[in-house]
A and B are shown apart, each in its own frame.
Chain A
Amino acid sequence: GAVVSQHPSRVICKSGTSVKIECRSLDFQATTMFWYRQFPKKSLMLMATSNEGSKATYEQGVEKDKFLINHASLTLSTLTVTSAHPEDSSFYICSARVARGGLETQYFGPGTRLLVL
């Protein structure tokens, strides 16, 4: 149980276009999802916390107009990279928060690799 999927797994786009990445909880409902970004040879960095039915909470230094997050249902959160540029190329990973055994924890998706040309 607690499977999280992401779509697409890889995407290549031209500079200036927008790209949408989906994060789905397949067998549970998640009121909270998280979006992380991973640069090569670097840590996963939390970008934002996505709450169903409300605005996302962004970490310091993350442009909310650049990385649009929508959590319209209890099983889906989307991250849209608007007007993508080569420096946005990265590995984007989402996670969903779920309670298991009386303890809340995060389950992670497989990630989406974005390459902006």
Chain B
Amino acid sequence: AQSVTQLDSQVPVFEEAPVELRCNYSSSVSVYLFWYVQYPNQGLQLLLKYLSGSTLVESINGFEAEFNKSQTSFHLRKPSVHISDTAEYFCAVSESQGGSEKLVFGKGTKLTVNP
């Protein structure tokens, strides 16, 4: 069975500071990894995903995540956060390449960016 652990339920940071949101997973098969973001009162949006190839994946708004198979991790990072990055972030794994089948989610990390 697959599982996802997000170690931090809440992460408060100041604007322009770097941030890392941690995600570890367990699975007995090959997995595909995702980060979703949920802004207040909105649905989940795909932020970035690792399917294959380069272990470092990037989003259009400056986030990046690195797949580390030996450590079974997929931590999300951003070198300088903005107020607008305040949201809840969910790490997820799937056995299907696009995440089109069952997604197993972590509990989420609430990122709060303060001025």
Within 8 Å CB of B103, what residues of A? Answer: 34, 44, 46, 106
Q: How far is the CA of A97 from the CA of B45 in the complex (A)?
A: 13
Interface size band for A: 20 to 34
Partner of B100, one of A4, A41, A106, A109: A106
- Contact across chains for A110 and B42 when beta carbons are under 8 A apart: yes
- Contact across chains for B100 and A104 when beta carbons are under 8 A apart: yes
Residue total for B at the interface (Cβ-Cβ under 8 A)? 22
Within 8 Å CB of A18, what residues of B? Answer: none
Partner of B43, one of A34, A93, A105: A93
The verdict on B70 contacting chain A, using a C-beta distance below 8 Å, is no
- Contact across chains for B98 and A43 when beta carbons are under 8 A apart: no
Chain B interface residues toward A at CB < 8 A: 4, 9, 36, 41-46, 90, 96-100, 102-108
* CB contact list, A1-39 vs B, under 8 A: 4, 6, 9, 32, 34, 36
- Contact across chains for B107 and A104 when beta carbons are under 8 A apart: no
- Contact across chains for A43 and B107 when beta carbons are under 8 A apart: yes
Q: How far is the CA of A109 from the CA of B38 in the complex (A)?
A: 10
Within 8 Å CB of B107, what residues of A? Answer: 41-43
Q: How far is the CA of A46 from the CA of B95 in the complex (A)?
A: 14
